[in-house]
């Protein structure tokens, strides 16, 4: 399913490789305006959204004077569409329209005090001075004809600029980051007072128009969805079922690597509560067999992905003839595949049903591919999904296989399932579950000496992890209250035979990752 702007007014964000590009999109969406991110060289004129209201040019790690600098055609500024350049976007605007940009003798990183010098719709209802977040090595030395400075900092005489007669604006700072005071207000001013947006993007409007769109695309054909029990696939299942009813068939593959009682809970919810056609496949034995003796984390992921595809392929043929494969793909996944990021190292493989559409002739149905995670949760709430499912912490595709260091065995899985279940139960009792972005237990295959009763023990270790994050790109470890840690540790050691020590992970991302493998 292609990105389906669904008739909403749209802001186009052209990405020049900034680490903050997704944050720009989130701020625009939070204001109730739909937006799309595309690489800087996207042919937007040929693929212009029906209701294009404005264009935002992102930052970039490049200098506009670099030989390999990403550039665009200057005719974008004559399109009549309002343009806002952020950091590199401001420098690019100046560079393309005849101004002068050079490396600054004093680079500017971190907070700076912004002083507003001119009236501008961009700064409507803002105080005369506020703190903003800078991150640049170049600076504008001379503005193009027709532009004026509307704000300054001690190091940037052109911290914000605007054109005298055209809706063209530039900011040297990053309004999208939380460190910029009134940054969200500046973005809203661009959207509503310059672009003339009305703010017609919401979970309700998305659900209504998605249902209409799904019915139109699917027609009388059959749809197969691989249900995981997580937030994304669950919301996708309920949304598609609301649109086409029994034309949707869900398949849930129990890999044996799930949370405690998860298969039973998923079956009860979707089959009983939502009356969705659901087939549950118990494939634990085949996954354990394929993983026997394997300890390398990347190898484990690839084996699980391969086995999952084998099971999915054979079972789907048995279930019937399907035209569409539905997936809970989200917008960050789409952005990652199309945005201008340059070469990057593979940190770890991700597990999904990639490869199946081409191999089996499926057409893809991805109704959530326009949404960020928080928007998926809002859609789930609109659809009436229970709060405990909507607020569920992220769970990796390979399941507990990446939370068990070393070889995967049924015994280790069972130990970790029980320990993790105790951890989640105590977090809920303490009222902390919803305050934490992600929490889980890890099985560490290291035996340590302990004493239980009058006997010496030599058993395994469990690590506890809890982090707060917005999107998983960065994360801070959660300062868990000692009394909660004490209760969790006491219960695990007393109730899970085979574990005699519990530790807490106080690593942030970066340099660590959230998952241990």
Contacts of 85 (CB under 8 A, 6+ apart): 56, 57, 91, 92, 93, 169, 170, 171
| Residue 249 bears catalytic tag | no
The C-alpha atoms of residue 380 and residue 371 are separated, in whole angstroms, by 12
Q: What are all long-range contacts of 69-72, with beta carbons under 8 Å and residues at least 24 apart? A: 70/16, 70/17, 70/40, 70/41, 70/340, 71/40, 71/96, 72/14, 72/40, 72/41, 72/96
The catalytic residue among 9, 176, 426, 517 is: 176
The catalytic residue among 87, 195, 197, 250 is: 87
- Please give the angle made by the CA atoms of 286, 227 and 444, to the nearest 5 degrees: 55
| Residue 67 bears catalytic tag | no
The catalytic residue among 174, 182, 249, 351 is: 174
Three-class secondary structure assignment of 262-321? HHHHHHHHHHHHCCCEEEEEECHHHHHHHHCCCCCHHHHHHHHHHHHHHHHHHHHHHHCC
Three-class secondary structure assignment of 435-488? HCCEEEEEEEEEEEEEEECCEEEEEEEEEEEEEECCCCCCEEECCCCHHHHHHH
Q: How close are the terminal C-alpha atoms of the chain, in Å?
A: 32
| Residue 208 bears catalytic tag | no
The C-alpha atoms of residue 453 and residue 500 are separated, in whole angstroms, by 12
Q: Which tokens hold the place of 378?
A: 């809002």
Question: Among all residues, which ones are annotated catalytic?
Answer: 87, 174, 176
């Amino acid at each position: 399913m292609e990105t389906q702007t669904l008739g909403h007014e749209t802001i186009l964000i052209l990405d020049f490789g900034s680490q903050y590009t997704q944050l720009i999109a989130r701020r625009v969406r939070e204001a109730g305006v739909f937006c799309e991110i595309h690489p800087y060289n996207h042919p937007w004129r040929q693929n212009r959204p029906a209701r294009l209201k404005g264009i935002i040019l992102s930052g970039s790690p490049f200098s506009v004077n670099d030989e390999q600098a990403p550039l665009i055609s200057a005719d974008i500024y004559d399109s009549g569409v309002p343009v806002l350049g952020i950091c590199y976007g401001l420098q690019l605007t100046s560079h393309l329209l005849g101004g002068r940009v050079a490396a600054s003798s004093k680079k500017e990183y971190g907070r700076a005090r912004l002083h507003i010098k001119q009236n501008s719709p961009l700064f409507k209802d803002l105080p005369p001075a506020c703190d903003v977040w800078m991150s640049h090595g170049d600076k504008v030395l001379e503005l193009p004809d027709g532009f004026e400075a509307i704000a300054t900092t001690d190091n940037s005489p052109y911290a914000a600029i605007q054109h005298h007669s055209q809706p063209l604006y530039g900011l040297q700072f990053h309004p999208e980051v939380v460190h910029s005071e009134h940054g969200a207000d500046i973005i809203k001013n661009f959207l509503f007072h310059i672009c003339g947006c009305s703010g017609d993007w919401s979970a309700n409007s998305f659900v209504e128009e998605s249902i209409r769109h799904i019915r139109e695309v699917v027609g009388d054909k059959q749809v197969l969805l691989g249900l995981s029990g997580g937030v994304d696939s669950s919301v996708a299942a309920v949304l598609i079922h609301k649109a086409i009813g029994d034309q949707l068939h869900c398949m849930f593959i129990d890999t044996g690597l799930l949370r405690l009682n998860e298969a039973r809970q998923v079956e009860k919810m979707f089959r009983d509560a939502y009356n969705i056609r659901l087939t549950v496949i118990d494939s634990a034995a085949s996954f354990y067999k394929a993983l026997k003796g394997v300890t390398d984390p990347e190898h484990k992921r690839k084996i699980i992905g391969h086995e999952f595809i084998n099971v999915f392929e054979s079972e789907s043929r048995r279930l019937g003839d399907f035209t569409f494969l539905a997936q809970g793909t989200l917008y960050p996944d789409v952005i990652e595949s199309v945005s201008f990021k340059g070469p990057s190292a593979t940190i770890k493989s991700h597990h999904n049903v990639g490869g199946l559409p081409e191999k089996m002739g499926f057409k893809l149905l991805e109704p959530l591919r326009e949404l960020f995670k928080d928007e998926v949760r809002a859609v789930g709430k609109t659809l009436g999904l229970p709060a405990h499912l909507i607020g569920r912490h992220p769970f990796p595709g390979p399941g507990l296989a990446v939370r068990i260091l070393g070889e995967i065995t049924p015994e280790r899985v069972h130990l970790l399932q029980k320990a993790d279940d105790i951890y989640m139960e105590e977090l809920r009792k303490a009222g902390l579950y919803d305050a934490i972005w992600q929490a889980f237990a890890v099985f560490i295959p290291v035996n340590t000496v302990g004493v239980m009763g009058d006997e010496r023990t030599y058993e395994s270790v469990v690590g506890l992890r809890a982090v707060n994050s917005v999107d998983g790109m960065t994360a801070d470890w959660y300062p868990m209250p000692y009394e909660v840690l004490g209760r969790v540790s006491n219960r695990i050691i007393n109730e899970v035979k085979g574990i005699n020590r519990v530790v807490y992970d106080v690593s942030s991302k970066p340099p660590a990752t959230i998952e241990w493998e």
